[in-house]
Amino acid sequence: MDAHLLPGALVDSAWLAGHLGDPRLVILDATAELPSPLHDGDYRVASGHAAWQDAHIPGSRHADLTGDLSDHTAPYHFAAPAPEALAAALTQLGVRDGTSVVVYDNGGGIWAARLWWMLRSISVPAAVLDGGWPGWLAAGGPTRSGPAAESPQAVPGALTPLPRPGFWAGITDADAVARGERPGALVCALPPAGFDGTAPTRYARRGHIPGSLSLPGRDLLDDAGRFLPRTELAARVNAVLPAQDAPVVLYCGGGISAAAVALALNLLDRDDVTLYDGSLEEWAASERPLVTGPA
């Protein structure tokens, strides 16, 4: 594979349009449906496959984060599969040794960022389509529709997972940072009302992990759903997270929005980032403390 096929962690619609049909490139739509909770404990999630069938980028396939791309034996939703299981699921989507992946979604980029993080965790070259599906449509990109059987078949070939250390944190890691037993910063990617506990939560309890900083993922995007220019992005991040706060442990409700912040930090060349996979769904179900109110 050409190591320079992907220009970076983000690609724009013009770049992707120019690479449609490239056999080295796999395009995946990672959209899932996760409505805002109407009351505490209101957890509803659904695959985005039906919407993908209605309209998608030519040659793309739907990557179902509610299906084989999650570990359903875990005690929380959207758990990252073991590397071998993740690789096996990705091969069914055409990902193999020697390919690169561009991921997009119709949900503000959080689902694409989640799959991007998962791909990178096993050393698969990956990028996110900046602006996602709305940006593609706004740029006049071509579309296709139809069931999965009508989309390009997965190209045969093996995918060898090469796990990279430091990508995932567990509940004991987050707890150690919260207690001051390990250096670093806990950063919550939820919107302010989710962080301070004024909005309903789909999890067991409201609030955030003690000592957390608030850096909502949506604040790092412009009105069109694209990541802010580097200077503005750095200003937003540095106002919350000084460079000396390392390592960074990101979390949200289920490890999804946190991946968008991980992508933003990657764009700023920070490599001291881990993602707490269980996030608040796991934490709130434990006896560990949660606090409400601002940071």
Catalytic site includes residue 188: no
Establish whether the linkage from the previous residue to 75 is cis, with ω within 30° of 0. no
The alpha carbon torsion through 251, 117, 85, 204 (nearest 10 deg) reads: 20
Of 220, 218, 213, 205, which Cα lies nearest the Cα of 188? 213
Q: Give the integer Cα–Cα distance in Å for 52 and 63.
A: 10
**Cα radius of gyration rounded to whole Å, the chain:** 18
- Given the residues 34, 87, 159, 252, select the one marked as catalytic: 252
CB 249 within 8 A of CB 276: yes
Phi-psi region of 109 (alpha: psi -120 to 50; beta: other; left: phi over 0): left
User: Which residue numbers are catalytic?
Assistant: 252
